[in-house]
Each structure stands twice: as structure tokens, then as C-alpha cells.
Structure 1
């Protein structure tokens, strides 16, 4: 798939569709090499459009014939150009019958209808439906669907589509059929079809209104024993949406299907969610605590789309965050609520903010920076980004911060009452929130239209005589591509004050009422001043509590103040944040010392602070693990004007080794005290203990002591769950013990032999080697030649190539440029197979202009080499923007 030129599509050019679709009948005669598709579509003229042309979209289709209102059209009756088929000057009411042939076994893009392990699957978001039939494939064209599927009964005993099953039967020649009817109007991107040799776990589930519905999780037979957690997660999702938002399942059944070849994590097709197997399959032998948590979150996310994405969808793809940002927020709240504790909610919040800072903040500062609601795109697949999803979720969260849970629920209720069954915009959601809460949110709209991460500077002054604290806030958003000047945002800024003993102080703003011990300051101008009165002593400020807005806080606090917050802040997020700021401050200094050839040292006060947190058993184990995990190399890079990956890596390794030495006894105690007894349970309390224990193990292995190497080997051999086994193996590989201890080296082969038939575990096997700081190009190249490796499977490509290029800074940025050559070679090859996955690999070079000069030149050479190749639209857009930024 190549494109010699790119067409930019602009949000401002949106026009309504000239024709709307009332209903479509789809008939599939399935065959691996040739599948016949017959689409009978009832269209009517849109009174809001002056055009009487029907516009259909198609890609990689073999058109057999088109019949309009009973007349077969000649080629002269329509025009095709660049994936568009236009029939001019048609009557107001049209029945269009389109017969096409498609070739699933040749479809390596995994968009449209394709094969995976001999079974048929579809992926239609964003524009995959046009690979199935000619159709007005745009999200604002919504219709009801009836789908008939015909196939070989022995090869494909299971035939699934959206909605409710209304008819099944046998056909001649050992074939059979199924008819599915979806009574809810939906855009074509939500269409789904699955056919194959699958089995399911199913349960009848009673909804809050008393209705019984059928829940099914479909997988290949050998994976049925790994579906219990997904089913429980689905039931939890249904119950949570009923209680939190009053939203019920609207179909008679809800189906989930797992497939190993899938570009995304999962897809919310109405009533028939299709999932990447990594977000469905779990049992203690093959899945880690993180896998269990991710499955619960993603199952929730796709189920919640039933309302925020399916029942109400986006008018055009520029509004993608309308459904994705909102639904990410909902799945975050779901996971947080299910922890059942304040500390559990804090752990979830910290994890979400870490993702935002590590992935989205760099995107905001790079060549692909774009608003939550983009203004233009060349390839829509490139805008399924952390900005649209995670920053979009933060924008939604700010509504709840401003209005509280009750106010947010009122806004959601109004949104559904106004727009159920329609395709709408981000501004429609904003209007519902504003109207439900009696608030003018016109300024808040800038969060959708302006790109970049705002920076908020805080300055304070305490007047001992007047007992007042003056807090001055100012905001600035750096220029981004296409946006040089920014207007002030409306920023909800949560703040609290701690006294000298670490207690929360009561808050009262001048001229205002008491605000408890935490309040929201609304920063709406370029700079504003707020005065707190009756402040009994000079406080330590706890700023931006719970990360109340997606901004970068610029506030100089001393080590003593940060240590005070780390020890006492009642806001768990800010306790963690204080530790991160202390660590990052030292990592930046250490990085500069490496570059200047200076000796590396780590102060005792910092190590003592770590010791205090590690030994504080009153703190939840999961919180301690997060607080004791150093900022990643990528997050350190974001604090530097010029990125020197090797200096950053050396600085971080020095800090880890020094903390291991100074706290050796405490790490050993943590490993001993946090072992979980009895049957494995993927619950937050046990998962937190395992996380802290395994973090302690990784620190101990930094000491190059054969005793701890043996301890990790014993943990591996005795582990009754994948979390502990994989953590031990990863620590052995990443510490270098594999190169020094024969028994340790044998474990890699042992792990492969035991799990060679478990694809998701073999992904982990590739990934842990790809991300090892000891794994150079030779290691990765050798792994690519392994019989289990293939570029055609996205999970496998991500585990090895992405793992190396995205998550192994020291080795990927090799001084000789070999990492960049490896990237360019595999990017070009992957682009020929699967452009969507290739475009994501291209993103690891976003920051190349910030590299030190010795790396900048080979990086540019690799980028220019790629740009000279025939590329897909997906990848070319990324490469061109990266080079021209």
C-alpha cells in the first residue's frame, strides 16, 4: 500500500452527508480466498444538503455490479476516483444493491475482513468498512443492520455479528447460515463479523431492571480456561455502569471475542466486542497482576462504549475524543472504584498520570502535537493517540473536578437525553455539562482546541503578622505546530496546606467561605492571585492535588519541603509526587555530572527518605512500590533541553545501585515480608505486596551478589504464578546475572520450553530480552530469526521491535547509529505488511531533534532514508512531520 501524495482533511471543511441510510442488509458468502458481499442499502436524501450525489467509499474491492432502484448501472453511470465512487443526480429515495468480492487471506493490514488462525474477523474503525463494501463509510451516517452470514459448517461452526440472533439454518453442500439483526442505529465503523471454530464461556445475567441477558466470551478451544476473569470483569462493568451512571445493557446478549492478530487493544462494536487476546486471556500460570488489571480495565472500557461511543457517537473523526477521552475517564473511574479504598484510588490515579507524563507530555512537545480535537489530519489512524485518549480523559476529569460527582452525573444525564441515537461533537458534550450545572464553559473549550501542555508557575508569600498566605498562579502554553499563540485555559488547581507537624490546615479564601482542608482555585487569566486568611503558621503548600489538571507545575520547593510532603501529605498522589520530584532533581544533576566527567554521588538525606517510605508499613504496599520506583529514563529526558540517552541511563543505574547498597537490609526485609501465602489472588492487596517484593528483588540484584542471584532463581523455580516468575526472570536478565551465572542463563530456555504454546507468554519472553540494558543489536537481530518471531502479528512485533526501540534507550541510541538503521529497515518492511502498526513504530523518533549532536545526524539519516521509500499514508504522515518539525 503506497501513496505518492498526501491529502490533508480539515475539520473546518465538514459538510453533512448528502444522503442518509435508513437500513442496510448485508449478505456474506465466506471463503478465505474469495468472499462475496452483497449490500442492499436504503438511502434517502438529507434535507440539510444541496447535493443529490451519492458518495460511497471503497478500498481493495472487486466491484461486480451496482443496481440502483432495480436498474443495473453501467460504468458510465458512476465515477470512481481515489477510493470514492460517486453517482450523480439521484432521486430522493434510493435502494442500492452493491455486489463485491474481497480477498481476506491477502489482507495483512488487519482492517476490514481478514483471517487469523483460519477464522474470520473484522476491524472497521476508523475506515475499515470500506474494505468490505462500497458504502458511505463515515461516522455521521447511522443505520440499522440485518446481516446474513453463510459459510462452511465444519470449518466455521460459529457465525456472529452485531445485535440479536434471529435465525439459523442449514444449506446445501455442508454449509449453514445465521441472520443477525441490530435494532440500534450505528455507523459502519461499529459493524462486526466473526466466523470460525470457537467456543465460549457463557452466563445468564440479571440486570437491574430484572431482565435476563446472555453474556458470552468466545475464544479458541485451547483458551477457554483463561476466560473466567474476563467474564467477571464484564459483569462488574455492567453493575458499575448501572449504579454510577444509571446506564443499562440494551441488547438481549453481549458478546466478546478474542483474536491474536489485532492492531488495537479492543473494539467496541455494538454488542460484539472484538479483543486482542492479551486483554482477555488470563489464569495465574500465564498472566501477571498487571495483565489481570488491564483486562478488567479494557473490558470495562469497551463495555462502557455501549453508551459513550455506540448509542451516542462522534459526528466526524475530529471528534474522536468525544467517545475515547470520555470512555477512558469512565474506565479509570471504574478501576479506581473497584479497588474499594482511598489508597487504591490513589494507586490508580498515579498509574494514569505516569502514563500521561511518559507518553502524552512528550507528544505535546513533539512534531505530532495536536489538540484533543484535531483540526486536520492526513490519515485518521494516526490520531488514535495518547492526546486524544489520555489527555482527553483528563479534560473530562476536570468537569468532575469543577462540578463534583453529582454535577458531572447531571451533565451526563442531560447529554444522553439530548443526543441518544445521534452523532455529535465535543462541543455538544461541553454544552450539556454547562447547561446542567448553570455554568458558562466557553473558555473551557480551549482544552479541545489548543495543543500543548500548559505550564503553571506558583509563587507564594506568607505574612506572619497578618496571618495570610498569598498564592500567585500564572500560566503559559508553549507554541506547537500550527499554533504559535495560546489563550489562557480554565485550569482547576487543587491546593492544600500542611503545618509543621504535617497536619492539613483549614482553608479560607479572603472574602470566601471555609473550604475544608483542600480547595479548587480556578485559574482563568494569564496570572491571578489568591489570598488565604487565618493561616496560623507558615505552611508547606501541597499544590495540584490529585493532579487536578494536565499541566506542568513550575514551583520551586526545597528538599526539606518535599521531604515534609513525602512524609505527611494526606493527598496520596502528592506524597508520591514529592518523591518523584526529589528523585528527578537528582537524576538531572547526575546526568549532567556524567556528561561533565564528574564523580557521581547521592546524598544521604535522599537515601534516608527512601528508607523511611520503604519501612513505613502503615502505607499501602502498592503505594510504597510506586513511591520507590524511580522516574523512567524517558521522564528524565523530558526535563532536559538536550537528550543524552547514555548519560541518562548511566545516571539512573548509578542511583539504583546506590540505593540498593544503602538500603540493602531494608530491601531484603521488604522481599521477605511481602511474600503472599496461599492460593494466588489477583486482588489489589496481594498485587501490591507482590509489586513491592519484586521491586525489592530488582534492587537487590543491582548489587551483583551471587546470593541474590540465587534468591531470584529460587523465586523463579518456586513461583506458582506468572507475576513472580516473570519478575524473577526479568530481574536476572536485566541485572546481567544471566551472563555470570550458568543456572540463571538456563532459565530463559526453560521459560520458552514451558510456554512455547502460549503466544502471550512468548510475547513476554521476547519483550523482557528486548528491554534489557544488556541487549544490543546483535541480540535483537538474533531474536528476530527465532522461529517464534513474525512481523505479521502485531503483538509479536510490539514485544520485540517496539520493546527495543521504544523502551531500551541506551541500546537503541547506540553511538554508531546501528539502532536507527535497525529501526528504519524494520519500519519499511512492517509498512508493507501493516501500515497502522508501522506508523506507531515511526513515532519513536519524534524527539530526534533534541538528541545530542552525535546522535542527531545518524537519526536524521535514518529518517531521510525512510522518507525516500514508497510508504503508506499512515507512515508517510509521521515521517514527514517528524522531519519538518
Structure 2
């Protein structure tokens, strides 16, 4: 990038001047280069008159070998190339356009378009990767029927896949073969997919609700075939769930998934041919943790659900990205909640939102879930678009109720099937189906930032009247200094002095308040005693809520609240309040003393055998350093780290007896199963183990080593490894890390865990270890999974070492970004995130972080991806 890139604005949207009725692609795959022949049937858009120039997109590195209109070859004077645009000024109203391009997939380290992953050809075209393949109107509102022919060496690439159904195939005398695929459903180019490689597969089938049989194929390397069954089971569960909950049936005769090791994202929903990062599809008890099993289940479902919420109905433009992603994340979260523990799933989603998305809302890249502008769309595949977008859909579900929400989704799919539409179209369908006015609610789509609720109350014992006062505000974000009041659904309940839920005006124990004004009061009559409010039940809105709870009230809610999420939230609030006070004491050289109420509350939870074990593990998990940092006005890295370790050790020592008892009770043998009850047992057991090792006693390190040796599954083995590796027992840690690598060096995903465990070690000297691991034979700077495990683990999840006072962590990341900028801009821009939060730190760290951002900016020609993040961070 030699000059400042252009900003693209939503307000400038214009419909495409030309439509593509059909697209024929012919790929000739060779080792040195690939020829792509493209034939399009083009016609002018009805809203445009004749004579409008045709504008195509093609990456600057595309070699154009031939271009012809109606078989008439164009000369250089007939068209012009300007950056990524190819413009033909004179074209008929309807015509056939043919191009031939030459590309080098084997040299494509950006992993966009067509590239090679471990010798296999594969594609990633969302958002704008298709323009790295051929010249095309590469935008989501141009939808076409595709017919794709792939030709390659048969011995090297026996499997040739693309979207739709196979219709023809053959072989040639020179050892090559070919196959043609037809996709009957019009789609934008970002949903195009191609795979060519030496792959094997597992096969199953699914009978839809209209009695159609669908062939299901999941492809992987031969060595990974035993790791595909769980993904297949998850796929069939997702297909059934989507029929039962949304009435959506799969529409092709074949559904394929391919596992790919080099992939920038988690997975891609290409019509009928999903391409997955191996980390999101491979699962086996010996090599996969419980969390990874659940991730596979959720991602498989997410990409399948896209068949309707993203493929059959797609985005008009990339500003509408949350139209498909937010809706589909909500759908996959509900699926996962139905498959496992609903409350635990909610806790996990809210933890991510509060820690990472709220930080994004408060940072330089803050944007609404429908952005007003961008430089590089790849930078907007964010937690705001996905997770906050899902929360906005969830709020609509809360406001309308499940029946009216289902009616709204039915109307949306029926009204817009085969179209590229907007978030407004989605909300309009919800309004039309329910009769509910969502005009104010639409502000969630256009206003950035995390709203804050300041809640106070008063009780009149004579009148038996309780009043809740709610004031809402939203901090300024880049480009939005002032905010209008939002429509916020606030789910709440009231507990009487005995801990029982009070029945409220709606006849239920939970009431959703419509908070629509800057300041608002809600009155409750016939309240016989002063209640304790249970606020934001189920996390009914993605907001920060502030209510002056006393610590005893939080203990009361932990013990009595009927809403599982609120019990967990009360535990978090209690721990946060105590830890923030301890941080203040640490900063003022006051001797630290842990409030015994936290110990007593944790003991009560541990000893309550009636509670869901998964929830016990969540309740007893202390707020993370990242969450405590997000809550801080100025982040004191050392104080937060020291205090959290102090609290963990104090809890561990005070509760040692019950922790050991619970550990032993849940350390039961039996065949591994990824069902919810078994996952809950392991999560509680391993949480207890981590606390026991935190006592600092050698006998508990020996207990972890014993668990490691006897473990028959990766969850227990890696949990034991992590607690030892992150302990002060260096010799034991080194020994166990060596054993782990020797055992699993041939399993790439397990080696990634090995990298991540070392990268997140909070002990001093970890940066030197990370730099040494970058020279390890198993590390590959071109593999995004390796980068996320080692570099992402250190820079994003090891605050005490990344933010070391001498700035060496910042220099390390700056060096890597400059290197990655040329290799893989998408990954580089995402790795930048820790530096973008520089305003939250002390003055000395601010200067060190800014210096690295400036060094990156001054380093030479930056990609649009990296330039946008760096320039906005320095603004």
C-alpha cells in the first residue's frame, strides 16, 4: 500500500450496474500455476440504462491472459486496470464475458482466494477472496448460478470438490482427470468453494422432514478419519434441530465438510461445501479437550445454520455482515444450550462478551454492529459483529417471545429467499409478524459502545411499595460523541428475606422491564418486605449494570437466586468487589487480608451436592485478569496479577479439605464421553486440582502428575499439564512438557495446545521461552493456528509477561506484526489487538505501546488491514 487507502461508507451504497445470470468456471490446477477460465452471462441492472461501464474486481497480482465479449477479444485500449478494479467502458446491455487468469496458489500466504494447505488446494473467498481467483463483480449483492469444472493430476489430487452436485466427470490420457459441479441456487462469489487433494472421507445420510435423503460427507487426511465422527453426529443433530425449531430443511442432495490445517478463520459456510479449520472439526477423546469437543459441535452447527441465515438469504453489502453472523451465532448458541447446559452456555458467552467485546467497544476500533464505514472489511469480522450481534437478536427474541420470534423468522426467510438484504429487512420482518414497534430498538444497529445502567432503589415499608430507578448512558466512541437512549430489555426478579422469588405483576417471578428513557422509574406494589433485586437475569441485554449491592446481599443471591446466570453473576460481583479492594490495598502497601465471606460462600457452593457440577465450576472460577483489567480505569498489571494469585492461594488453603474431597469424588474412571454430565464432572475435578496446586504444596503437584499419567483423555491430561507447567515447580514442569511433546508430536492440534500452555505461563522468563519456541521444528510462521497458539497466547492471554515494564513484550509483537503484514495481513491485523488498548495503561506503558504502533506505521508499505487498525489506534 503506497498511499492512504480509501474509506468505504454505507451511505454511498449503490446497487450493481450489472447482474450475472450464470457463471462457468474452469480450473486447470498445476504445481507452478493455475489457469482459471471464467465465462459469465451478464446483463444490465433494470434500474440502469445502457452504456454504463462494467466494473470488475481483481487482485493486483492477477495475471490477465485473455478477455473477450461475445467471443471478441478485447485489446488493451478496450479496458483499464486501476488497483483492484478492471473497467470496461463500452459493453452491450446483455453479453457473454470471458476471461482467462493465471494465479500461483502455492505462493498465496494470505490464505485468501485459492491457495495450498499442506499440498491440498482449497479456497477462502469471504469476504473478498474471490477477486484473487478471477475478475468478477465480487460483492454480495451480485448472485449467480455457478457451474464449476476442476481439472488436475489424478494421482496427486484424486478428490475434486466444489459447490452443489457433481454432474459430469472424466479422465484424460495424460494422467489427469476432471469433474463438473453445478449449484442450482444463486449465490454471491464469496460463497464459492473449491478443494482438490488426496483426501478420504466418512459418509452418512440424513432424512429430512419431507423424506428427502441427503448424503453427508466429511473429508480429512487418512490419519484423521477416526476424528470425524463427532462432527458427523453434530451435523445430524443440527439438521434435526433446525427443522424442529425453525422449520428449515436442507435443500441439496449432498452436504460436504473438508478439514483444512491452514485457515485464517474457524470455518466457512460455502454452499454445500463447508471448509473447516481442523481445530473446528477434528475430535477424539485422546487428542481433544471437552472445550474443543463443544467448539466442534457449535461451529458445525453454526456453518450448517448459515444455509438459510446467510446463504439462501444473504447480505446486501458487507456493512450488513451481522445480518447473517449475529443471527447465526444466536441460533448456534441456542442449539448448544439445548444440547448441553443452558446456564453454563450463557455464562460462557457472557464471559467472552464482558471481557473481550466490551473492551472492543471501548477501544479505537469500536463500531456499531452495522458499521457506517470501513477501510478493510476483514477487520470487521469482530466480536461486535458476531457476539454483540447475537445479543441484539436475543433481545428481539426476549421482547417478542419465542412464538412471535419464530413467526418473524419464518416471514424473513419466506419474504427474502434468494435475495441479498439488510438488517432493516430482518427487523421489519420481526415487526410485521409481531405488530411490535422496534423503531427505537434499531439504535442497537447504528450506535457503538456498551450502554451502562445505573440502578438505585427505595422501599416504603408503610405503603409496601418498592421503586426501581434506572438511568442509562453510553460513553462516546470514535465518530459518535453523543448517544440516544436505547431500548433495553431488563429482566429482573425480587427475592424476599427468606430467599424466595416474589410473584410480580405479570404473574411470574421474572419480569422484563422496557428501559427506553435516559431516566426511568418502575414501581412495584404490595411488596411486604424490602426485597433484594435480581437484575439483568439471563443477561437480557449486553450492558454494564451498576447497583450498590452489599457483599452480604451478593452472598444471599449466590445462595438463593433461582436464575442460574444470576447466581454466577453474584459470585463474580462478590469476587470483583473484594479483589478491587485488595488491588487498592496492594497499591497502598496495606497487608492483604481476604474477606472470609468469599471463603464461606465458596465452601457452601462446594458442599452443596444438589447443584449442577458445571455451574459449581463456573461459580468457583475467579474473575480473570482480563476481566479485572476491563473493569479498571487504569490497568495496574502487577497489582491485578498479584491480587488474583493471592486470592486463589488463600481460597485454596482455606478450602483444601473440601477441594480434595470434591476432587476425589469426581476423579472416577469410566469410558470417556463428551456428554454434559461427564463434561461437568471433569470441569469441577480439574478446577479443584488447579486450586490444590495453587496451595504451593509439592504433594498436589504429585497428584497432578498422577492424573497426567493415568488420564485416558486430553481434557484431564492437558489440565494436569497446565497446572504443573504454570507452577513454581520448574523441574516437574519441564519433565512433563517434554513427555507431552514426545507423546503427541505427530498430532498438530495437540502440539498447538503444547505451544499455548507454554505461551500463557505466568512465571517470569516466558518471552524468552516463546522466542525459543518460534525456532522449534513444529512451529510454522505461515500457519494461523500455530500463530494463534504461541504468539496469540503470549500477547493476548499472558498480561503479566506481555506488559513487562521494559516494553520487551511490545517490541516482540511489533516485530511480528511487521513480518506478518507482508505474509498474512488478516492475521497480522488481529494480532495487533493488545497494542490497540494502550490508553488503558499507565503513562510509561502508554508511551512504549504507542512507540511500537508508530514503528509499525513507519515500517513501509502496510496492508489495508494493518494500516486501518494502527492508524485508528494512534488517532
TM-score, scaled to structure 2: 0.99
1:65-85 C-alpha deviation (Å, 9 max, x unpaired): 101012100010011101100
Q: Which ranges of 4 or more aligned residues in structure 1 deviate by more than 3 Å?
A: none
| Counterpart pick for 1:596 among 565, 581, 588 | 588
User: 2-side partners of 1:393 and 1:49: how far apart?
Assistant: 36
1:488-535 C-alpha deviation (Å, 9 max, x unpaired): 100111010111111101112xxxxx3311111001111111111111
Q: Which residue of the partner structure matches residue 802 of structure 1?
A: 792
Q: Which residue of the partner structure matches residue 511 of structure 1?
A: none
User: 1-side partners of 2:369 and 2:250: how far apart?
Assistant: 29
Pairing 1:670–2:662 present: yes
- Deviation (angstroms), 1:3: 4.4
Pairing 1:814–2:804 present: yes
Instruction: State the SS of the aligned residue for 1:529.
Output: strand
Instruction: State the SS of the aligned residue for 1:180.
Output: strand
Q: Which residue of the partner structure matches residue 312 of structure 2?
A: 311
User: 2-side partners of 1:218 and 1:76: how far apart?
Assistant: 46
Q: Which residue of the partner structure matches residue 575 of structure 1?
A: 567
- Deviation (angstroms), 1:32: 2.7
Q: From the superposition, tell whether residues 15 and 303 of structure 1 become closer, same or farther in structure 2 (CA, over 3 Å).
A: same
1:140-167 C-alpha deviation (Å, 9 max, x unpaired): 0000000000000000000000001111
Q: Which residue of the partner structure matches residue 834 of structure 2?
A: 844
Q: Which residue of the partner structure matches residue 57 of structure 1?
A: 57
- Deviation (angstroms), 1:89: 3.1
| Counterpart pick for 2:415 among 413, 418, 424 | 418
Q: Which residue of the partner structure matches residue 258 of structure 2?
A: 257
**Superposed CA RMSD:** 0.9
User: 1-side partners of 2:795 and 2:636: how far apart?
Assistant: 15
Q: Which residue of the partner structure matches residue 450 of structure 2?
A: 453
1:354-373 C-alpha deviation (Å, 9 max, x unpaired): 01011100000010000000
1:539-573 C-alpha deviation (Å, 9 max, x unpaired): 11001110000000011111111111000000000
1:168-213 C-alpha deviation (Å, 9 max, x unpaired): 1111201101100000000000000000000000112211111111
Q: From the superposition, tell whether residues 151 and 395 of structure 1 become closer, same or farther in structure 2 (CA, over 3 Å).
A: same
- Deviation (angstroms), 1:262: 0.1
User: 1-side partners of 2:2 and 2:221: how far apart?
Assistant: 37
- Deviation (angstroms), 1:314: 0.3
Pairing 1:74–2:75 present: yes
Q: Give the unaligned 5+ runs of structure 1.
A: 509-513
Q: Which residue of the partner structure matches residue 32 of structure 1?
A: 31
Pairing 1:679–2:671 present: yes
- Deviation (angstroms), 1:743: 4.5
Q: Is residue 400–residue 436 contact of structure 2 (8 Å, CA) maintained in 1? A: no
Pairing 1:873–2:864 present: yes
User: 2-side partners of 1:721 and 1:542: how far apart?
Assistant: 39
- Deviation (angstroms), 1:677: 2.6
Pairing 1:830–2:820 present: yes
Instruction: State the SS of the aligned residue for 2:490.
Output: strand
User: 2-side partners of 1:462 and 1:608: how far apart?
Assistant: 29
Instruction: State the SS of the aligned residue for 2:562.
Output: coil
Instruction: State the SS of the aligned residue for 2:571.
Output: helix
Q: Is residue 758–residue 766 contact of structure 2 (8 Å, CA) maintained in 1? A: no
- Deviation (angstroms), 1:784: 1.0
Q: Which residue of the partner structure matches residue 634 of structure 2?
A: 642
- Deviation (angstroms), 1:671: 0.8
Superposition map of 1:709-728 within 5 A:
709-728=701-720
Pairing 1:783–2:773 present: yes
User: 2-side partners of 1:32 and 1:49: how far apart?
Assistant: 43
> Which deviates the most, 452-461 or 381-390?
452-461
TM-score, scaled to structure 1: 0.98
> Which deviates the most, 806-815 or 860-869?
860-869
User: 2-side partners of 1:53 and 1:244: how far apart?
Assistant: 46
Q: Which residue of the partner structure matches residue 214 of structure 1?
A: 215
Q: From the superposition, tell whether residues 299 and 3 of structure 1 become closer, same or farther in structure 2 (CA, over 3 Å).
A: farther
- Deviation (angstroms), 1:744: 4.4
User: 1-side partners of 2:486 and 2:48: how far apart?
Assistant: 36
User: 1-side partners of 2:521 and 2:205: how far apart?
Assistant: 58
> Which deviates the most, 375-384 or 842-851?
842-851
Q: Is residue 52–residue 91 contact of structure 1 (8 Å, CA) maintained in 2? A: no
User: 1-side partners of 2:284 and 2:437: how far apart?
Assistant: 49
Q: Which residue of the partner structure matches residue 534 of structure 1?
A: 526
- Deviation (angstroms), 1:224: 0.5
User: 1-side partners of 2:289 and 2:434: how far apart?
Assistant: 42
Pairing 1:403–2:404 present: no
Aligned length: 871
1:265-305 C-alpha deviation (Å, 9 max, x unpaired): 00000000000000111111100000100000000000000
Q: Is residue 506–residue 515 contact of structure 1 (8 Å, CA) maintained in 2? A: yes
> Which deviates the most, 592-601 or 369-378?
592-601
- Deviation (angstroms), 1:114: 0.3
User: 2-side partners of 1:841 and 1:703: how far apart?
Assistant: 34
